[in-house]
Amino acid sequence: MIRLLIVVAVLFAVVLEFQWLKGTSGEVALTLHGNVYSVDLSTAVLGLVVALALFAVIVLLLRFLVRIPANSGRRRRWRREERAREALTAGLLAVAAGDVRGAERATGDALRRIPNRPLTMLLRAQTAQLKGDHAEAGEAFKAMLEEPDARIVGLRGLYIEAERQGNHEAARRIAEEARQDASTSPWASRALLRYQAAEGDWAGALELLGSYSRTLDRKAARRQRAVILTAQALDKEIGEPETARNAALEAHELAPELVPAAVVAGRLLSRLGEVRRASKVLEATWKEAPHPEIAEAYAHVRSGDSATDRLKRMETLHRLQPDAPEARIALARAAAEAREWERARTALEPLVKDRPDQRVLILMAEIEEGQSGDRGRAREWLARAVRAPRGPAWTADGVVLEQWAPVSPVTGRLDAVEWKLPLEEPEAVALPDLVQDALGPDQPRQVGRFVEPQGETTGGAERTFEIDGEPVPVDVAIQEEELARAAKSGRTAPDRVTPSPVVTGPTIVAQPVAMRPAAPVSGKTDGPDAVIVDGPKPAPTAQPVIGSGTQPPKLVTPPLPDRPEETLVAEEDLVPPSPDDPGVEEGTAKEPPRRFGLF
């Protein structure tokens, strides 16, 4: 708007000037070869203006003609660069899409048009990496070092190539050089931090983290510092407990949800006599992330406490997180150690009804044996535990670890270890008849079930295992279940192993015999418990041939005649150890039933 007003004002001034000249008396005379040419003043001014305009047009025309070659060259260069940019775009898209041929074609086009541009060299390197030609990729990245704008990119490419080749020493030198050129480069700082963490240089790692933490998110920086401090506390826990205590407490303040920091802090505080502070640290982390290591440290926060005292502490943790599975498992374990079996069973009941893992089932086997002494039931729980999904564990990059570590053993990445279910979990299996009534109709149908003996049975009668109403051996039931699961998941089913047919053999009735201790015979005795047998010898019978499909004959022993009480007592002393209790020697006092333990 202002420009328009200025133009109007100038035109208005020019018109006024010509109007003024027209009204002014005067003339302009030009004498040439004795001839006098005269015009009025306004006509002379107008002619001068027109002459100047024509001169300007002629000058511009001459300038245009002179610049035609230069303009043509500039236009050609612009067209070439435009096509080069199109080639770079197509090449980068081809690399991202994994199109090797398209990337090679675009790279050749870009190199032909703009060979020394940083973006062209980057496209060349990425195309070489896509082809798997790492030597050419290395040459392209080295060429980028000569360009100041692309130097950091070339160093990062060389670092990646060195890591791929396993040359960690060269990779570390490249990362150090990159950090010197660009101190705020995050990848170089992360690489150096990883090497320092792998070497256990926690002091250097803390210093390096402090120098580049401003490039990180505040929460991520606090978390990484807490992990490094925890690792430092673990290293100095034995030799320098005070330093380790301070590092663990700082790590706990930075990341209250970091379980290892709370565990080592609680352990050190307990060792130094600060039981109350140790309990507060463990309780704070338990509220954030219930974990069995927290429960273990909390249970033994005061050394020398009884099992009942530990149970009370677990009840405190259970009140803090009543719905957490780890709280129920910890409470049940403490109750089992205190021999309060019903309390332990009640704590595990919701987990058993849902989808129990190995820890729950093993603990149920321990409770079953400790409460009732029923080893058969305990074995059933253990059999289920073999096929049950394992519980959460410390994992890093698909590898299950026995304990927490500050870095991944696979990639060396800091803070890569997590408490979670492993990546590959076994499929859920059908549940036996033990808790089917408690599970309800929504749970999967049983593959097999144990059947209690019917009618009057002797003390040695055992339950049988049935599939669809047919009694089968337990190993056959397991095989059928494996075949069904393989067919459902699409895996290759294992070969079916057909058991030998069961054929009932002849029955031999044994004659009653009387046994008494035998006198040792030189060169004939097998040991101090050798016996001799008086009475008629049974008739020889044909032995079954292995592989014939028949079973050995059954031996039915009729009741022995009445004998004096002292004879019966002597016979009981000669009874060999029971198969259920191997290793029991004669005269050894029977141990009281102990709590079941897996290890």
- pLDDT, tens only, 44-56: 777 888 888 899 9
CA 592: distance to chain centroid? 44
Distance linking the first and last C-alpha atoms of the chain: 92
pLDDT of 596 = 42
pLDDT higher than 50, residue 519: no
Read off the pLDDT band of 16 (50, 70, 90): confident
pLDDT of 33 = 76
- Say if residues 137 and 129 touch (Cβ distance below 8 Å): yes
C-alpha angle with apex 583: 580 to 588, nearest 5 degrees? Answer: 105
Over residues 492-506, the mean pLDDT reads: 45
pLDDT over 70 for what percent of the chain? 70
pLDDT higher than 60, residue 338: yes
Mean residue pLDDT across the chain: 76
How far, in Å, are 87, 132, 291, 455 from residue 98 at the CA level?
16, 12, 44, 73
C-alpha angle with apex 394: 389 to 395, nearest 5 degrees? Answer: 85
pLDDT higher than 50, residue 439: no
Least confident range of 37-41, 189-193, 565-569: 565-569
pLDDT over 90 for what percent of the chain? 38
pLDDT of 469 = 54
Read off the pLDDT band of 483 (50, 70, 90): low
Name the token pair of 556: 């039915």
CA 500: distance to chain centroid? 45
Over residues 210-222, the mean pLDDT reads: 82
pLDDT higher than 60, residue 451: no
Least confident range of 187-201, 249-263, 349-363, 576-590: 576-590
Read off the pLDDT band of 28 (50, 70, 90): confident
Instruction: Write down the H helix ranges in 448-582.
Output: 474-489, 565-574
pLDDT higher than 60, residue 544: no
pLDDT of 168 = 87
The domain segmentation of the chain, as residue ranges, is 1-19+39-61, 436-453+462-488
Instruction: List the one residue out of 337, 345, 268 whose CA is nearest residue 308.
Output: 337
Q: What is the pTM (predicted TM-score) of this model?
A: 0.58
Over residues 203-225, the mean pLDDT reads: 86
Q: How far apart are CA 245 and CA 238, in angstroms?
A: 11
Read off the pLDDT band of 73 (50, 70, 90): confident
